[in-house]
Amino acid sequence: PSHLTRLVYRDMKVLGGHIINVSSLAGIAGASRLTSYCASKFAIRGFGQALQMELDLEKNSRVKITCVCPSITKTGLFNGASTKWPRIIPLLEPEFVAEQIVIATREEREEVVLPKVCNMLFLVDEWMPRRVWRRCKELAGVHTMNTYKRIRPE
Catalytic site positions: 37
Sign of CA dihedral 6, 29, 97, 105: negative
In terms of DSSP bridges, do strands 17-22 and 63-70 run parallel, antiparallel, or are they unpaired? parallel
Query: How far is 101 from 141, CA to CA, in rounded Å?
Result: 26
8 Å CB contact between 67 and 44: yes
Cα 31 off chain centre by: 13
